Chains A and B, each alone.
Chain A
């Protein structure tokens, strides 16, 4: 079993829809949770950075962490064609020696 599981998609939704992206994980030591956006042939861009359980909102993006269920989500409101990309969840236990473990990424396409 992988430490981090992420549905690879592809996920296609119409412009303006609410998008929900999810990851599950198995390591209860994970404390820090990130979401990255990666456009084709580009490096990942940090979107959201959260610690422990709870919600964090930044513009059209909301990150949720449920440590009891080992489940994290990223919601995108009023989705735009420019949001079309691969979204990677990532997590870490948080010490300087801890690696960041990435999900395999979900390919998202927003239809105009």
Chain B
């Protein structure tokens, strides 16, 4: 149980284009999903918290107009990197919380590696 998928697993795009990454909870309903960014040999940095049916909460320093998050259903959240630039190249990982009373138990997707040329 508690399986989270991401699509695509990797993507290469040209500078200035937009890229959408999907995060799905396959065998449970996730009222809350999280988006992280990870640079090589560094830890996970939380970008935003996404609650189903409401606007995402972004961490300080994360541009909400650049990283658009939509959590349209209890099993799907999307992250769209708009007007991507080479500095946006990174490993993006989503996670989902299975239960409201276990705030800290997050299950992670396999990640999406984005390369912007």
How far, in whole Å, are A105 and B39 apart by their CA atoms in the complex? Answer: 12
Chain B residues with a Cβ closer than 8 Å to the other chain, count: 21
A49 to chain B: which residues have CB within 8 Å?
A: 104-105
If A41-B111, A42-B111, A44-B93 touch, does A95 touch B103 (CB 8 Å cutoff)? yes
Contacts between chains A and B (CB distance < 8 A), count: 55
Whether A88 touches B103, Cβ cut-off 8 Å, given contacts A44-B93, A44-B108, is: no
Q: How many residues of A are counted as interface, with CB atoms below 8 angstroms from the partner's CB atoms?
A: 25
Out of A45, A99, A104, name the residue touching B43 (CB < 8 Å): A104
- Take A42-B111, A43-B109, A44-B93 as given contacts and tell me if A105 and B43 are in contact as well, using a CB distance cutoff of 8 Å: yes
Per the 8 Å Cβ criterion, residues 26-67 of B in contact with A are 41-44, 46
Instruction: Decide: B110 and A46 in contact? CB cutoff 8 A.
Output: no
Known contacts A43-B109, A43-B111, A44-B93: does B104 contact A32 (CB below 8 Å)? Answer: yes
Distance of B105 from chain A, by nearest CB (Å):
6
Q: Mark B67-99, 1 if CB is under 8 A from A, else 0.
A: 000000000000000000000000101010000
Q: Give the B-binding residues of A (Cβ under 8 A).
A: 8, 32, 34, 36, 41-46, 49, 88, 90, 92, 94-96, 98-100, 102-105, 107
